[in-house]
Structure 1
Amino acid sequence: MTENKQPILVFGATGQQGGSVAVALLRAGRPVRALVRDPAADKASALRAAGAEIVLGDFADTASLRAAMTGAYGVFSVQPSSGMGPLLGISDEEEERYGCAIADLALEAGVQHLVYSSTDAVGDTPTGMGHFDSKARIEAHIRTLPITATIVRPAAFMEMLVMPGFGLDQGQFNFFVQPDQAMQLLAVADIGKYVTAIFADRGRWAGQTLEIASDMLTGRDLEAAFTAAAGHPIRYARFSEEVLAGNAFLAKLTALVDNGRLVGRADLAALRALNPQQQSFATWLAGDGKAAFHAALGQAGRWGYGHG
């Protein structure tokens, strides 16, 4: 059986990252096996209709994970985290346990290529934020295993910028960077395209760690892009000191931007060669992000990410 006929098991296939990977793999003609908790859910049904094999499983059910990996060529591993907020996330300890267990089971099952999705905040020293440092520990565990693995470190998602609470409904946008400070951003759809290219060239990417992003913008660049897309002025300002003083989670993230841990170091030119369809922020706003952006223009609310 050749690798192109063996399925790639995708975790989180009904979510952002896993969904992007599943769609891109299917478009590339690769067989996809999607692990889901509810096979009857709309997103699972859509994946089935697109050609994916749907299997029932849960991170906490080791037997279901082991069964899902049987005969798989590759595994795309991503877990929810505490940074996703209390409704969607899990504890940092659970994330680490699940991420390490998936890698161990992939080795046990004879999986040929494991791709693990981490974060660009991971570095040589801990960040002090649990949902980043749990990923660093999963990375470290994977590197101890005799398995062909690639680690991708995504930048902040463009989709995060059009969540309620950043001020777009008031003609402004507040974010982590200073007006002239640059930060890399990633269109979720690009994740799948990068990962599909990685699975297509196991030899090149074996043992590699790759930061992935789609564009790099300053606060003023964001102001200009939002203004052009909205058709009226959108003023940019960094989160105020008052806001940061009242939200420890935002304050810690902002500090990681200031010390360079969250601004991103991806080689955008090299990534464009890997994915010629790489999206600029302006392209994303006019396409994938258009509906969410225009909804945010008329939607007030608190910043809902993580512990905000």
Structure 2
Amino acid sequence: MSDSKRPILVFGATGQQGGSVAAALLKAGWPVRALVRDTASAKSAALREAGVELVRGSFADTDAIRGAMNGVHGVFSVQPSSGQGPILGLSDEDEERFGVSIADLAVETGVDHLVYTSANGVSDEPTGMAHFDTKGRIEAHIRTLPINATIVRPAGFMDMLVMPGFGLDQGRFDFFLQPDQSMELIAVEDIGPFVAAIFADPARFGGQTLTIASDVVTGRDLETAFTDAAGQPITYGRFSDAVLAASPFLAKLTAMADEGLFSNKADLHALRAINPEMQTFRAWLDGTGREAFEKVRGTAGAWEYGTA
């Protein structure tokens, strides 16, 4: 591996995507550096124990980021999504500013390879949904920069489907797909191996925008998978008109699904060649996802957008 002794700086390493990427890079033999707000937290301690070099800082601390980029080969850039604004107090402007700043600092400090994670559903044209369009503007900015960059657009997280609020605790699953509509999915833990493969071959993946997914499911597929996993019927239904009227966020996601923005974007055959161990939804639900599935079946609660 070229540049194997130079680290990769991972943002969001205490979160979902960043944690997956840090673990995969370590497994692939890369030294990993992570920018974290609290080096004494339990999650930071776990990273340190795994061999990650920790640097204290935040997305708003450009001096800390500049220092953390010193001497690295690559940067994995992920920001908390503005879709989590009510939870994190993050605005669309914050997400865009952080994403643009990280890219600019990567150029300034001479980083060889920048990997930015966006989202499936982002397109060159505005979607009308702010936290998708924010990512689109970050993508557009990165493409103007003199740096070898790869943009990944992960599909919807399998992990999201076993959060409280979809009705699994009541023997049903409510979602924004029509029963026969399809949607691409990926397990968060599968994102890391794709990113590690990208860093291992910058000549192949540099300059690309790659939608990553590991399965395609319909609403009926979800009903069958959940029923089989539960050992009892789980009925599928689209969100009711009342639910959609009460949540502009879910209403817009539903409209985007109707427009086909969450399907037919990923080449699963080509992706499996990159990551042969990527999981179908059923395999994930029978394995890593089983604990969360069993827990959510006994946990009522309102749906909230997942973490980055």
Scaled to the shorter chain, the TM-score interval is: over 0.9
Alignment partner, residue 200 of structure 2 = 200
Return the alpha-carbon distance in structure 2 between the equivalents of residues 168 and 207 of structure 1. Answer: 41
Alpha-carbon shift at residue 233 of structure 1 (Å):
0.7
Return the alpha-carbon distance in structure 1 between the equivalents of residues 99 and 305 of structure 2. Answer: 22
1:209 aligns with 2:201: no
1:98 aligns with 2:110: no
Alignment partner, residue 48 of structure 1 = 48
When normalised by structure 2's length, the TM-score is 0.97
Alignment partner, residue 88 of structure 2 = 88
Secondary structure, aligned partner of 1:242: helix
Conservation of the 8 A alpha-carbon contact between 1:185 and 1:215: yes
**CA root-mean-square deviation:** 1.2
Distance change >3 Å, CA 48–CA 145, structure 1 → 2: same
Secondary structure, aligned partner of 2:86: coil
Return the alpha-carbon distance in structure 2 between the equivalents of residues 264 and 2 of structure 1. Answer: 34
When normalised by structure 1's length, the TM-score is 0.97
Matches within 5 A, 1:275-286: 275-286=275-286
Alpha-carbon shift at residue 303 of structure 1 (Å):
1.3
Alignment partner, residue 237 of structure 1 = 237
Alpha-carbon shift at residue 103 of structure 1 (Å):
0.4
Matches within 5 A, 1:159-308: 159-305=159-305
1:58 aligns with 2:55: no
Alignment partner, residue 69 of structure 1 = 69
Aligned AA for 1:184?
A: E
Unpaired runs of at least 5, structure 2 = none
Alpha-carbon shift at residue 124 of structure 1 (Å):
2.4
1:118 aligns with 2:146: no
Return the alpha-carbon distance in structure 2 between the equivalents of residues 89 and 167 of structure 1. Answer: 27
Alpha-carbon shift at residue 239 of structure 1 (Å):
0.7
Conservation of the 8 A alpha-carbon contact between 2:75 and 2:106: yes
Alpha-carbon shift at residue 302 of structure 1 (Å):
1.2
1:26 aligns with 2:39: no
Q: Which consecutive segments of 4 or more residues in structure 1 shift more than 4 A?
A: none
Alpha-carbon shift at residue 125 of structure 1 (Å):
1.1
Conservation of the 8 A alpha-carbon contact between 2:83 and 2:131: yes
Alpha-carbon shift at residue 264 of structure 1 (Å):
5.0
Conservation of the 8 A alpha-carbon contact between 1:80 and 1:89: no
1:142-182 deviations in whole A, cap 9, x for unaligned? 00000000000011101110111000000000111111111
Return the alpha-carbon distance in structure 1 between the equivalents of residues 66 and 264 of structure 2. Answer: 35
1:17 aligns with 2:21: no
Conservation of the 8 A alpha-carbon contact between 2:85 and 2:91: no
Return the alpha-carbon distance in structure 1 between the equivalents of residues 303 and 95 of structure 2. Answer: 23
Secondary structure, aligned partner of 2:88: coil
Count of residues in correspondence between the two structures: 306
| 143-152 or 245-254, larger mean C-alpha shift | 245-254
Distance change >3 Å, CA 197–CA 297, structure 1 → 2: same
Distance change >3 Å, CA 275–CA 2, structure 1 → 2: closer
Quick one: percent identity of the two aligned structures? 68
Conservation of the 8 A alpha-carbon contact between 2:23 and 2:192: yes
